[in-house]
Each structure stands twice: as C-alpha cells, then as structure tokens.
Structure 1
Amino acid sequence: MTSLTRTLALVTALLLPVAAAHATVRTETGRTESKVGASETYRLGVPTEKDVSTTGVRLVVPAGVAITRFQVMPGFVRTVKTNADGLVTEVTWRGRIAPQEYARFFFQARNPEQAGTLSWKVYQTYADGSVVAWDDTDPEKTPASKTTVK
C-alpha cells in the first residue's frame, strides 16, 4: 500500500462518520436491507447536530410497511397518525436530545410483500424552531434513509 493510498484510506475513514451523521433507519442489527414480508425490528437513530437540543422527531412510514409496536422511549411522548385501514403512517416523538447526544427509537414492523426500496423520511425539530428534513429534498445534504427489501 502506497503512502498516498494509506492517506486516502485514513481521510475516508475519518470523514465517514461525519458524512453519515444524520437521521437514519436501520434494522436492529444495523443493516440497510431486509426480506420481503419479514417482521423486522428497526431503529431510527437521531443525532443532534446543532448547538441546541432536538425537541421532536417525525417519521413518515413508507407505503407497504406495517408498524406493529414500539419500544418505550423514556423522556419522550409518542403520537401516531393512522390511515383509514388503521395502519401507522407517521410517528412523532417529542422530548429532548441535547447537543452532542443522540437517541435511538426502536419499532417493529412487517415489510412490504414486494421487493423494492423503502425511503424513510424524517423531520428533526430543534429547540430554536428550525426543522431539518431528512427526506431527499437535497439528497447530497439531507438524504432520506433507505432500506432495500429483497
């Protein structure tokens, strides 16, 4: 390995956590893929990236995903919106995630019966009233988290 290759590898390793520091949905084991029709435990990871606390997190549930239950998150109040069929379409957690802290919100869900990509849209509200939309509005700066269902 050349000196340049080692330097590039080191820089990439150091920058990766910064580039990945946003609201993400992963399986409980940290994967970005799951199986068609499977029951899965997902975790929504939300870091506070400003000098003020995060006070709210809203998750828009992708079509075809059926949330079945939530893990209790002490210090947070959870509300859900459902559609006419009773399926959860949005989840909002209100509480406090201080600067330099993060929270993980766990929930169980059944995946869609068809393969595809789930796009998890997350809206992070800060104590100053600002909202960061992790929804692909600007895929380079505020990407939506994705799960591949195979």
Structure 2
Amino acid sequence: MLRFNTLMTLSAALLLSFAAAHATVRTETGLTESKAGVSETYRLNVPTEKEIPTTAVRLVVPAGVTITRFQVLPGFTRSVVKNADGLITEVTWRGRVAPQEYARFFFQARNPAQPGEVAWKVYQTYADGSVVAWDDTNPEQTPASKTTVK
C-alpha cells in the first residue's frame, strides 16, 4: 500500500508540473485579473519544455486589447502585424531559449473597455520547426492563458 501511495503522489506531482509548465500571460505582478479600460504591464512567460531550443514565440493579441509598447529583450528581435487601423494584432519574438530555460517578454497594453475574459493565444516554435499552440485547441494539454477583466 505504501508503494501505491508513493506512486500516486509522484504521478500527481508529475502531472502538476506538466500542467504548470506552459506559456502564460500574467500582469507584471503575476495576477490573472485586471481592470477594464486601464493600461497594464503584462509578462509573457515561455519555458522551453523540449530538449531543443525555442526559436520563436508568436502572440496573437486578443480582440479589445491594444498593445502600446514593449520592453527590450536582448538577444531577441521583434516583429509586429498591424490591422488597417494601425493596431497590433500579432507580435513575434525571435531568438533562442535553451532547454531548461525560459524567457519573459514584457509589454504594455490597454485592456478592453468591457469586463470579460481575455484569452491569449501563444505559438511556440522550436529549433526543429515544430510548433506548440497554447491556444485552447487542446485545453487539457495546451491551454490558452486567460485574464479576467473586471
């Protein structure tokens, strides 16, 4: 029985570590909620979960969110896609995040004027060309990060 309990505890710890290890967007202070219509500094945290480096991170900007500026991250280049109104709809950072490392990308944005949930879709590209879509395509394994706007 002790062996079974130990195995279950180890299995639970492994699952918890997997569930916690993915691309997340939080406020600068680590919160998953913010106020409607305010400017907020966000951090996108991206760990490399494979034995090969991450080479690009693409963030699709949720509807109603207006990105206004970025913090410089040495070793990375940044490109943006804008819509006809000049608003940023996507941002891609290119660089190298080695195995067992993570990168943190800071940006400032104005929240939607109306309360609700904002889903951040992140696409992580590895050196072999594979892409992990943190976009709720498979919510159990690759969930999108969410912010509650109140």
TM-score (norm. length: structure 1): 0.90
The 2-side partners of 1:13 and 1:146 are apart by 23
Correspondence 1:104 to 2:98: no
Give the letter aligned to residue 77 of structure 1: T
Partner of 2:128: 128
CA deviations on 1:73-99 (whole Å, 9 max, x unpaired) are 100000000111111000000000000
| Corresponding pairs, count | 144
Structure 1: stretches of 5+ with no match in the other structure:
1-7
Partner of 1:27: 27
Please give the secondary structure, in 1, of the residue aligned with 2:139. coil
Give the letter aligned to residue 127 of structure 1: A
Give the letter aligned to residue 61 of structure 1: V
**Contact residue 19 and residue 141 of structure 2 kept, 8 A:** no
Please give the secondary structure, in 1, of the residue aligned with 2:113. coil
Please give the secondary structure, in 2, of the residue aligned with 1:19. helix
Alignment RMSD: 1.8
Following superposition, the deviation at residue 20 of structure 1 comes to 1.0
Partner of 2:50: 50
Following superposition, the deviation at residue 11 of structure 1 comes to 7.6
Partner of 1:18: 18
Name the % identity. 80
Give the letter aligned to residue 102 of structure 1: Y
TM-score (norm. length: structure 2): 0.90
Cα gap change, 1:11/1:38 in structure 2, threshold over 3 Å: closer, same or farther?
farther
Partner of 2:62: 62
Please give the secondary structure, in 2, of the residue aligned with 1:147. strand
The 2-side partners of 1:50 and 1:109 are apart by 30
